[in-house]
Amino acid sequence: MQISPSILSADFANLERELARIGDADWAHVDVMDNHFVPNLTLGQPVVEALARVSPVPIDAHLMIEAPDRWAPGYAEAGARSVTFHVEAAADAVATARAIRAAGARAAFALKPGTPFEPYEELLDEVDMVLVMTVEPGFGGQSFMVDQMPKVRAVREAVRRRGGEIWIQVDGGVSLDTIGQCVEAGADVFVAGSAVYGAEDVPARIGELRELAAR
């Protein structure tokens, strides 16, 4: 069970300090948005490179961008230890996953709420993690979509059938109230933005989430 706080809800004027607050987490989730794949714009490769230099925990880059085939390996080269791309945007998901791994990072593919898992089951051979979005990608602070839990279950079932060590990440609306449902469905990596950075005591909140995840 791993916790990956999303810095989308952090203070962008003080990112080094904000990363220092999540030293108890397993990863720092960095949301890269290009204003094309999603209607929002955040940061790119040079900023990820800078964050990787000062982060106390490895960077988990979530690319919400067009043409990940072209850009994803660069995020691994920039120092992200895990790079997730969206299948909806990839022209060749197999090649993209392989290029991420060749650049030295863990590779993952993400599914938007409207994207089914089944057509992508074979891709499990090429990745280390699957991200099931539990909100429409683009913004923090949205409500958790409980209707994505059957998809998490389907991925877990496929991973179990095929064997191997593939993590299942959930992202969007994960909080003290909703993390239990994700655990129950079979997720094991939990992204939380507003639930972590909105807390008064950030390390304590990470501990609370971890405790609920371990139940």
Binding ligand DX5 (rule: CB under 6 A), the pick from 58, 79, 173, 186 is: 173
Contacts of 115 (CB under 8 A, 6+ apart): 87, 88
CB of 137 to Zn ion, least distance (A): 7
Which of 84, 86, 158 has the alpha carbon at shortest distance from 118? 158
Hunting for tokens 């962008």 — which residue is that? 12
11 as an active site residue: the answer is no
DSSP letter string, 134-203: SS-TT-SSPPP-GGGHHHHHHHHHHHHHH-S--EEEEESS--TTTHHHHHHHT--EEEESHHHHTSSSHH
- The closest residue (CB) to ligand DX5 is 193
Q: Shortest CA distance to 30 belongs to which of 8, 45, 54? A: 8
Say whether 23 counts as a known binding-site residue.
no
Task: Give 91's DSSP letter.
Answer: S
31 is in an annotated binding site: yes
Catalytic residue selected from 26, 128, 171, 188 = 171
The mark string for 42-81 relative to ligand DX5 (x by CB under 6 A, - otherwise) is --------------------x-------------------
**Is 138 assigned a ligand-binding role in the annotation?**
yes
Whether 163 has a binding-site annotation, put simply, is no
31 flagged as catalytic: yes
Matching residue, tokens 């593939």: 166
Closest CA to 77 of 54, 102, 43, 60: 102
Residue 5 in the binding site for ligand DX5 (CB under 6 A): no
* Binder of ligand DX5 out of 60, 172, 188, 212 (CB under 6 A): 172
DSSP secondary structure string for all residues of 98-148: HHHHHTTSEEEEEE-TTS-SGGGGGGGGG-SEEEEESS-TT-SSPPP-GGG
Residue 4 labeled ligand binder? no
Please, which residue, 97 or 125, has the CB nearer to Zn ion?
97
Q: Out of 10, 27, 28, 31, which residue is the one contacting ligand DX5 (CB under 6 A)?
A: 31
Q: Binder to ligand DX5 among 56, 141, 150, 180 (CB under 6 A)?
A: 141
List interacting residues with Zn ion (CB under 5 A): 31, 62, 171
Spatial separation of the C-alpha atoms in residues 156 and 168, rounded to whole Å: 7
Residue list, annotated binding site for substrate: 6, 62, 138-141, 171-173, 193-194
Give residues in contact with ligand DX5 (CB under 6 A). Answer: 6, 8-9, 29, 31, 62, 135, 137-142, 171-174, 191-195
Residue list, annotated binding site for a divalent metal cation: 29, 31, 62, 171
Active site residue ranges: 31, 171
